[in-house]
Structure 1
Amino acid sequence: MDNPSLESLPDCAIVADLYADLDPEWERFLAEAAISGRPVYHYKQVWEAETGKVQIEHMSENGFGALVPSFAYQKMKRAIDVVLSVLALPFIIPLMAICAAAIRWDSKGPIFFRQRRMGFRGVEFNVLKLRTMTESHVGDDRDLSITRNDDKRITRVGAVLRRTRVDELPQIFNIMRGEMSWIGPRPEAVSLSQWYEGEIPFYRYRHIVRPGITGWAQVNQGHVADLDEVNEKLQYDFYYIKNLSYWLDLLILIRTIRVVSSGLFCEFTPRFQ
């Protein structure tokens, strides 16, 4: 549009690059649009709302300030995590006991799988899961941290646990220790996290919030297998951090229930241990 004017446009919102060097004519046009009551959006706001992601290449422009989560909300979220964990524990422990018996019957090895993960503020911790693979194939090596379709390492019981996400239930103890949250970016194995930090700009910034059992990336993207997919996953993580709220957490919870009940992302894509 060479000569912007409100009269030539229908009654609608206006999307523009508000950080660009605009001509005075365009600046007056956008100002008049805002004064007249028309919504004026920065195009990146619209892109983020449509995709549920934050573009990493624009991080320096967004500024880290936009990604600093509310301290008050994080405190409240932590309190909610503890209360929900206490309420859920009487139901989860019997279920884990049944799973433990099935694991013991199905294959040799420990009931639980422990792995060093990168956590809140970059502090390492031991994530706890029900073992779903043969004992000789679990560990912290980068290659061993990824499972794929028809992976021979997965046991019969393990396949069921992974498909239903029941193998994640022991992480309730990680939540009670303050290492994790019910909802947040998934914690990666230390070896993987260190690799990603060297390959993807700003990757370490995802540790500004507690990692979760489920997250925005998990309900939108599923599990990832290469750096391009990890880069996209990080965009989802940054969107979650930037828009951290009760409503977003509730939306993730609803989508997680739908994903688990449908078995989505479990049988057709690679998955991290």
Structure 2
Amino acid sequence: MMKKDVPRYQSARVIWMYCVVDLCAPLLTLLCVLFLFSDQVWKDAYTWLGIFSGILFLLSTQLLGGYSRYVERSIAKKIEIVFKTWALSVLVLMVIAYFNLTMFDFARSVILIWVALTPFAILFIKVFINQKSRSDSKGSTEILVLGNGYQFNQFELAQLKRHNVQLHTVMEYDEAILRDKVASLSPDFLVMNLDKSAKPQLIKQLTHLDLKGVQLLALHHFMENFLRKCYIPYESTELSYLERIHSYNRINYLTKRVVDIFVCVSLALLTWPVMLYAVRKIRQESPGATFFKQSRVGLNGKDFQAIKFRSMHENSTFNPYTQEEDPRIFPFGNIMRRTRIDELPQLWNVFVGDMHLFGPRTEWNILVEGYEKEIPYYHERHLVRPGISGWAQVLYPYGANTEDARQKLMYDLYYIKHWSIWLEIETLIRTVFVVLGRKGL
């Protein structure tokens, strides 16, 4: 990814704090692990191991571009850099320890726990620093938006504000006005959000601005890098859009299935008492079927039966959308919906391969027919299996109309296009925070 495609840190102070964390965290984590999990005394060998691993981790992070002012600040990118560099550091340490015959100087249990915990400690501290620096930052990323082809909604503007991104819009395609605005604002980026075809004079002016160092961004690049969603044009005339979204390759699919099976089995073992309690409460508050089955659209547009705990009274009034204080939902049904307990039976759908743990949300086939008529490229979300949770569910509030479905589709397509194990882990982390009621991650 090019430097001009991502937001930069406004202050180098954050980068220096990252360096200090990478240098000191391995030694401090080793000290804590030895104190908590072993009665062995501290040795000089542990001191050298902690110092050398910190230096090695620092150098490895530098090689991967982890200290760039333009480094992507997403959790997925931090996870990737931290775990890759730590794996490389541990590998080098193992080789050095083997050839120097120092492996027997350490307690094996201490080293294993230290190797497992250190990347999580570093990641937690870096995310905290990033969040703190974002809230304390006095500067902001200044974005000059040329045109009004896409109108940013209030949710997007609030999301940009949380990341200290300030938008300034220029509606007139006038050379003098644009030049004066650039001169007075000195924007970090100029986003081309044109609502009509660019004339040769405007293209010439933008070219001159690019040569002078003004960093130009197309709207779809801005959306993906700042809002982490794929822009969907209202008119379905851009056939090249169909090239950008692809299904998972074989390795990615196998990786997702491994994650699916592991997490499903783990969750089933942890939550079976909760599921048994839910069965009892459903029978007490709303006699009838315990489970709710509905035809949902899955991979390649084929229908399957999704299973959930029933949260509404049987034979309720038909309405495809759930409203606030919906009278059809019985009291414990509300609790299940808020805590996502009603989704637990879908672990079976994941286990048998109808769904993934994470992916585009399963949609009722009746709603899908309507969405496909009104939302361009909607069927692209069926290139992959749906998920119990997903990128759209953890980043966008509950939707109740077609425009909300369009907004969620943008997040779904971003997830499909940019899928990686690191984005999967970030989605898992965000899902946990949503379930716990904290959405500000």
What's the TM-score once normalised by structure 1's chain length?
A: 0.79
Q: Which moved more, 1:165-174 or 1:84-93?
A: 84-93
Deviation at 1:73, TM superposition (A): 1.0
Report Cα offsets for 1:108-132 as digits up to 9, x if no partner: 1011111111111111011110111
Taking the aligned partners of 2:302 and 2:188, their CA distance within structure 1 comes to 44
Structure 2 residues without counterparts, runs of 5 or longer: 1-174, 193-197
**Aligned residues of 2:357 and 2:388 also touching (Cα < 8 A):** yes
Query: Aligned with 1:128: secondary structure?
Result: strand
| Aligned partner of 1:67 among 245, 253, 256 | 245
1:118 aligns with 297
**Aligned residues of 1:181 and 1:210 also touching (Cα < 8 A):** yes
Taking the aligned partners of 2:319 and 2:409, their CA distance within structure 1 comes to 21
Taking the aligned partners of 2:227 and 2:353, their CA distance within structure 1 comes to 31
RMSD over aligned Cα atoms: 3.1
Equivalent AA in structure 2 for residue 223 of structure 1 = Y
Verify: 1:54 aligned to 2:230, yes or no.
yes
Taking the aligned partners of 1:99 and 1:49, their CA distance within structure 2 comes to 41
1:178 aligns with 353
1:160 aligns with 335
Query: Aligned with 1:55: secondary structure?
Result: coil
Equivalent AA in structure 1 for residue 262 of structure 2 = V
Taking the aligned partners of 1:247 and 1:28, their CA distance within structure 2 comes to 38
Query: Aligned with 1:135: secondary structure?
Result: coil
2:46 aligns with none
Equivalent AA in structure 2 for residue 255 of structure 1 = R
2:105 aligns with none
1:268 aligns with none
Deviation at 1:69, TM superposition (A): 3.5
Deviation at 1:32, TM superposition (A): 10
Deviation at 1:28, TM superposition (A): 9.1
Deviation at 1:54, TM superposition (A): 1.3
Taking the aligned partners of 1:253 and 1:211, their CA distance within structure 2 comes to 15
| Aligned partner of 2:221 among 38, 42, 45 | 45
Deviation at 1:84, TM superposition (A): 1.9
1:258 aligns with 433
**Aligned residues of 2:350 and 2:356 also touching (Cα < 8 A):** yes
Taking the aligned partners of 1:21 and 1:89, their CA distance within structure 2 comes to 60
Taking the aligned partners of 1:206 and 1:189, their CA distance within structure 2 comes to 14
**Aligned residues of 1:15 and 1:43 also touching (Cα < 8 A):** no
Written as runs of structure 1 = structure 2, the 5 A alignment for 1:220-239 is 220-239=395-414
| Aligned partner of 2:282 among 98, 103, 111 | 103
**Aligned residues of 1:197 and 1:204 also touching (Cα < 8 A):** yes
Taking the aligned partners of 1:89 and 1:235, their CA distance within structure 2 comes to 31
1:242 aligns with 417
Query: Aligned with 1:154: secondary structure?
Result: coil
Q: Taking structure 1 as reference, are residues 135 and 51 closer, same or farther at Cα in structure 2, changes over 3 Å only?
A: same
Structure ranking higher on relative contact order (CA contacts 8 Å, 6+ apart) = 1
Equivalent AA in structure 2 for residue 136 of structure 1 = N
Report Cα offsets for 1:159-198 as digits up to 9, x if no partner: 1111111100000000011011111110111101111112
Equivalent AA in structure 1 for residue 341 of structure 2 = V
Structure 1 residues without counterparts, runs of 5 or longer: 265-273
**Aligned residues of 2:286 and 2:313 also touching (Cα < 8 A):** yes
Equivalent AA in structure 2 for residue 214 of structure 1 = S
Equivalent AA in structure 2 for residue 112 of structure 1 = F
Query: Aligned with 2:436: secondary structure?
Result: helix
Deviation at 1:145, TM superposition (A): 2.8
Taking the aligned partners of 1:200 and 1:40, their CA distance within structure 2 comes to 28
Query: Aligned with 1:44: secondary structure?
Result: helix
Query: Aligned with 1:144: secondary structure?
Result: coil
Q: Displaced runs of 4+ in structure 1, greater than 3 A?
A: 11-17, 20-33, 38-43
1:127 aligns with 306
Taking the aligned partners of 2:433 and 2:231, their CA distance within structure 1 comes to 27
Taking the aligned partners of 2:295 and 2:303, their CA distance within structure 1 comes to 6
Q: How many pairs were matched up?
A: 253
Verify: 1:78 aligned to 2:257, yes or no.
yes
Deviation at 1:41, TM superposition (A): 5.1
Query: Aligned with 1:191: secondary structure?
Result: helix
Equivalent AA in structure 1 for residue 307 of structure 2 = L
Verify: 1:145 aligned to 2:317, yes or no.
no
Q: Taking structure 1 as reference, are residues 26 and 85 closer, same or farther at Cα in structure 2, changes over 3 Å only?
A: same
Taking the aligned partners of 1:73 and 1:51, their CA distance within structure 2 comes to 24
**Aligned residues of 1:164 and 1:263 also touching (Cα < 8 A):** no
Bigger radius of gyration, 1 or 2? Answer: 2
Taking the aligned partners of 1:26 and 1:154, their CA distance within structure 2 comes to 55
Deviation at 1:89, TM superposition (A): 2.0
